[in-house]
Chains A and B, each alone.
Chain A
């Protein structure tokens, strides 16, 4: 089991699945059904494979595991894979969300089904690749490559303003990322390698760190996204199909958070410390401003999108405290947000499939007709605002704890974000679920179908599991995190 190239297998399963699926002709409804079934099984198989990865993961080993190292471009730019406690969880999150996405688009996607499923499977390979590549060029390849399927997903199957949104998404992210490419090339010439393991112990000079950090930051701040470059996110979310929003909020945003943890603070600790106040300020602005913006939204998806920006603000806050709790909190917040925001977008998708509108005003009193739905929605809303006992609380609490130890003022401002989150989340919930059922078209709305229940059950389970008993998760990320923190402190002193 040890020598088996399980990470390459994870990358290869979706690709092989695509080759298989491209042989199936999607000329009638039956064949399309078969295609969806096939894609579902492929992604489920990948999920099982990632579970195998998780269970054979050695908890006590803080180094990268399952390492694969082959010749690729030249002797120093190689095909180098490996996972540690942080990336392994994000990989499992990815493979978990993929079958859910495919299941969620069973009925809502009516045309070009084959292209749709292929896009998602390609995207899965790229996302897993981002989290397990240990070579900067390989990382960039996966990081940018994900733009292609996402561009198509939003552009082809999106809503009315899909063209504008998808171009905005693509060009924003690309413009940010090209600077990272130049930085990677500079690192190649300066350090003589793009091997992440070697680079983590390499010492860049102070001025080099300064520019390289900014180049990486340009890429990650657009992707995560941070204020003031967050404006692509609400547009992309609103126009994307439900599954697209799920994967966007669930995984794509985490790639940037992961990048901060792995590269920015690991390779450029001096610059990270220097810029930390700026990151804090931007994060605080993001948390408060986007929470206030979320309060006045008329569109459910837009509201959740803005809340995503606020939640990712906590992630960056946690990462740049350089403390054990902070980074652990950030990772848990990422995982939790990956589950909860994905679930919230699915919740919106449920009512959107029935009424084809996302306007909050058009809903009200759903609790009378959709009790199961109201229950599921409530859990995720509460998890989103960070109620103790749900996964949202653990991450936010750890982050606030660590930021308090660094700077009290920032902590105070960040905490107001939690209050604001409660305000807009509960406001949304009250508007949609409670109140009198007066709207005509809501009278015969149906509750969750079996398929939708199957989608929500694992997400509800995970929300509570991480919230009530986070120890297994912390056990997995702790060795890797303490390794990172030790590395930073070693370099700083």
Chain B
């Protein structure tokens, strides 16, 4: 019975998804399926809040504060993606009612990921998520870019799953266990095989969070996938993979952190620096957001690399703020349309403030927030990250980090420049779509007023990491 209750959110989404899949065969109305999925997710969100804390299946599936908060973030990401899809499916010419169902299944996979405490459940969750995402990326069958994105993502994703599995087999072979807690008891820290295992698993997970040097798929997939899917990529899977990475590293190898800390530091620096420079030359806003997300992952990874309470706390704060900022940005990108044509180039934004003054102000604030300029929320995310880094005496890392953020500020400012300094164009229709405004304005306002009352987010972060210590 306790097993049933613990798995209830996943089971509900699964059964609901299957039911909708069958229902969709008969009614063929995407709106209904989509709205039903939204309701399903909201119901599960509420359910998660009231779940008791326990672990089942011989400690391989855990529900604790950490998994609860991460699941809520993931479901919020899925929810906003479905809302975005609701407003755009007709204009994007995606008449595939499986879309919301795939999102649901991907969400199950991600929920299993952040709850898993075992190499097996971890891999199952990861694959369920990845397979759904491959299909989602190539959902727009009529578009060459989307198909290309799907194929690219699939091939590279399969490769990374292979790496991951290879690493898992090493870890299993050298410790004799698949459970994270048992691995922590049974490893021999001198073992080279174990180290190889850790490296490969880290590489596999770095692919999932799209950290440099495993980032190659990100720009193409972001650009090619339909915008609601891109939003989904930026929101949920990153957070889930980050949660999984933390639990894997801390629960099983927390004691020998010096073995993997350098890896995380390296990919963190590489992501921050690479993203800051690579994004400068982009002209497609979705591609730019891909590089931006790589950069943000780099900062979030500093929180992991600190191997401290402060680090994990800052990671959770960073991810929460990242989630809200990306909801704002992607609902904004989806609003850039005239009739049924969507615009994705940064230059299409020129002179936006003439026609849409309020939306321009809010996206400008969001851009400054992404760049980490006070007093907006993004600054506090970076502030806590660097606080953790300095506490762990990682001065070089923090200096590289802040300098990368200065370089990174340039490309966010470029968007502001195009919105305000360049010649105006025609109006966009998308800024009057209610469901997008429902996502865009609250999230961008939250970013702006965060500085007045930051304690809820900080308290959530404290709550989240309680179970990891």
Q: Is B one of A's binding partners?
A: yes
Per-position 1/0 for A48-79, Cβ under 8 A of B:
00000000000000000000000111100000
* Cβ-defined contact, B420 with A156, below 8 A: yes
Chain A residues with Cβ below 8 Å from B405 are: 178
Within the assembled complex, what's the spacing in Å between the Cα atoms of A140 and B380? 12
B108 nearest CB across to chain A (Å): 36
Q: Are B420 and A178 in contact (CB under 8 A)?
A: no
- A234→B421 CA distance, assembly (Å): 20
Q: A115-B353, A167-B410, A170-B413 are in contact. Are A148 and B373 (CB under 8 A)?
A: yes
- Are B402 and A178 in touch, CB under 8 angstroms? yes
B390 touches A185 (CB 8 A): yes
Q: How far is the CB of A72 from chain B (nearest CB, A)?
A: 7
Closest partner residue, chain B, to A111 (CB atom): B354
Docked-complex contact A155 and B390, CB < 8 angstroms: no
CA distance A152 to B458 in the complex (A): 31
Q: Give the docked Cα–Cα distance between A167 and B280 (Å).
A: 14
A residues within 8 A CB of B361?
Answer: 115
Given the interface pairs A72-B454, A141-B379, the reply to whether A148 lies near B368 with Cβ below 8 Å is yes
Residue-wise interface mask of B (397-417) relative to A, using a CB-CB cutoff of 8 A (1 in contact, 0 not)? 011001101100110010011
Contacts of A72 in B (CB 8 A): 454
Q: How far is the CB of A181 from chain B (nearest CB, A)?
A: 7
Among A71, A156, A185, the residue within 8 A (CB) of B386 is A185
**Closest Cβ–Cβ distance, residue B334 to chain A (whole Å):** 25
Q: A72-B454, A156-B420, A167-B410 are in contact. Are A144 and B374 (CB under 8 A)?
A: yes
Q: Complex formed: what's the CA distance from A142 to B375 in Å?
A: 7
Per DSSP, chain A at the interface is: helix
In the complex, per-residue mask of B409-434: 1 if CB is within 8 Å of any chain A CB, else 0: 11001001100110000000000000
- A409: interface (CB < 8 Å): no
4 tightest A-B CB contacts, nearest first: A178-B402, A141-B374, A185-B390, A175-B406
Q: A145-B375, A148-B373, A151-B413 are in contact. Are A181 and B406 (CB under 8 A)?
A: no
Q: For chain A residues 112-142, which have a beta carbon within 8 Å of chain B?
A: 112, 114-115, 137, 140-142
B391 contacts the other chain (Cβ, under 8 Å)?
yes
Within 8 Å of chain A (Cβ to Cβ): is B266? Answer: no
B454 touches A155 (CB 8 A): no
Q: List 26 A-B contacts (CB under 8 A).
A: A71-B455, A74-B458, A112-B353, A115-B357, A141-B374, A141-B375, A148-B373, A151-B413, A151-B416, A152-B416, A155-B416, A156-B420, A156-B421, A163-B417, A167-B410, A167-B417, A174-B373, A174-B409, A178-B406, A179-B399, A179-B402, A182-B386, A182-B395, A182-B399, A185-B383, A188-B387
Q: A174-B406, A185-B390 are in contact. List 14 more A-B contacts (CB 8 A).
A: A71-B455, A115-B361, A140-B374, A141-B374, A141-B451, A145-B374, A152-B364, A155-B416, A175-B406, A178-B403, A178-B405, A182-B402, A186-B390, A188-B387
Select one of B353, B357, B390, B458 contacting A73, CB under 8 A.
B458
Residues of A within 8 A of B383 (CB): 137, 181, 185
Q: Which of A112, A148, A155, A189 has the most CB of B within 10 A?
A: A148
> Is the pair A171, B406 in contact by a Cβ cutoff of 8 Å?
yes
Tell me if B's interface is mostly helix, strand, loop or mixed: helix
Q: Which of A115, A140, A182 contacts B390 (CB 8 A)?
A: A182
- In the bound assembly, the distance between CA atoms of A141 and B455 in angstroms comes to 17
Distance to closest chain A CB from B165 (angstroms) = 40
CA of A167 to CA of B414, assembled, Å: 9
**Complex: how many Å from CA A188 to CA B388?**
11
A80 adjacent to chain B (CB < 8 Å): no
Known contacts: A178-B403, A178-B406. The answer to whether A155 contacts B417 by CB under 8 A is yes
The reply on A162 being an interface residue by CB < 8 A is yes
Q: Is A147 an interface residue (CB 8 A)?
A: yes
A182/B375 in contact, CB under 8 A: no
Contacts A141-B451, A147-B373 given; indicate if A167 touches B402 (C-beta within 8 A).
no
A144 contacts which chain B residues (CB < 8 A)? Answer: 373-374, 379
CB-defined contacts of A115 to chain B, threshold 8 Å = 353, 357, 361
Please determine whether A189 and B391 come into contact, CB atoms closer than 8 angstroms. Answer: yes
Q: Which residues of the other chain, A, contact B413 by a CB distance below 8 angstroms?
A: 151, 167, 170
| CB within 8 Å for A171 and B374 given contacts A141-B451, A182-B386 | no
**Of residues 164 to 196 in A, which have CB atoms within 8 Å of B's CB atoms?**
167, 170-171, 174-175, 178-179, 181-182, 185-186, 188-189
Q: Which residues of A contact B387 (CB under 8 A)?
A: 185, 188-189
- A147 CB contacts on chain B under 8 angstroms: 373
Shortest CB distance B76–A (Å) = 24
- B374's closest neighbor in chain A, by CB? A141
Query: Is B390 a contact partner of A163 (Cβ separation < 8 A)?
Result: no
Contacts of A171 in B (CB 8 A): 406, 409-410
Closest to B414 in A: A167
Interface positions of A from 67 to 115, Cβ below 8 Å from B: 71-74, 112, 114-115
Closest to B382 in A: A181
Task: Name the one of A156, A167, A182 contacting B398, with C-beta atoms under 8 angstroms.
Answer: A182
Q: Chain B 107-134, CB within 8 Å of chain A: the 1/0 string?
A: 0000000000000000000000000000
CA distance A171 to B280 in the complex (A): 14
Cβ contacts under 8 Å, B403 to chain A? 175, 178
Chain A residue contacts of B410, Cβ below 8 A: 167, 171
Which residues of B, 417-468, contact A by the 8 Å Cβ criterion? 417, 420-421, 451, 454-455, 458
Q: Return the contact of B421 from the options A155, A170, A178 (Cβ within 8 A).
A: A155
Interface residues of B in 336-382 (CB under 8 A from A): 353, 357, 361, 364, 368, 373-375, 379-380
> Within the assembled complex, what's the spacing in Å between the Cα atoms of A148 and B399?
23
Which residues of B sit under 8 angstroms from A145, Cβ to Cβ?
A: 373-375
CB < 8 Å neighbour of B357 from A74, A114, A142, A174: A114
Q: How far is the CB of B352 from chain A (nearest CB, A)?
A: 12
A225 → B minimal CB distance (Å): 17
Residues on B with beta carbons closer than 8 Å to the beta carbon of A74: 458
Residues of chain A lying within 8 A (CB to CB) of residue B386: 181-182, 185
A256 to B413, alpha carbons, bound, how many Å? Answer: 24
| Most chain A Cβ neighbours within 10 Å, of B353, B380, B395, B421 | B421
Cα A71 to Cα B455 in complex, Å, equals: 9
What string of 1s and 0s marks CB contacts (under 8 Å) between B291-320 and chain A?
Answer: 000000000000000000000000000000
A12 to chain B, nearest CB (A): 11
Cα–Cα distance between A308 and B398 once the two chains are bound (Å): 34
- A156-B421, A170-B409, A188-B387 given as contacts; is B454 within 8 A of A73 (CB)? yes
Of the residues B380, B395, B421, contact of A163 by C-beta under 8 Å: B421
Measured CB to CB, the closest approach of chain A to B469, in angstroms, equals: 18
Report the minimal beta-carbon distance from A470 to chain B, rounded to whole angstroms: 36
In the bound complex, CA of A368 to CA of B417 (Å)? 43
Q: Which residues of B contact A178 (CB under 8 A)?
A: 402-403, 405-406
Shortest CB–CB separation between residue B78 and chain A, in angstroms? Answer: 31
Closest chain B CB from A79 CB (angstroms): 10
Chain B residue contacts of A179, Cβ below 8 A: 399, 402
CA distance A174 to B372 in the complex (A): 10
Chain A residues 183-234 with CB under 8 Å of chain B are 185-186, 188-189
Contacts of B395 in A (CB 8 A): 182
| Bound Cα distance A384, B418 (Å) | 39
B402 smallest CB distance to A (angstroms): 4
**Chain B residues positioned under 8 Å from A73 (CB to CB):** 380, 454-455, 458
User: Chain B's nearest CB lies how many Å from the CB of A375?
Assistant: 38
Residues from chain A with a CB closer than 8 A to the CB of B368 are: 148
A189-B390 contact in complex given A145-B373, A179-B402, C-beta closer than 8 Å: yes
Taken together as a complex, chains A and B put the C-alpha atoms of A112 and B359 apart, in Å, by: 14
Residue in chain B with minimal CB distance to A170: B413
Complexed CA–CA distance, A155 and B383 (Å): 27
Report B357 CB to chain A, min CB distance, Å. Answer: 7
State the CA gap A188–B406 with chains docked (Å): 22
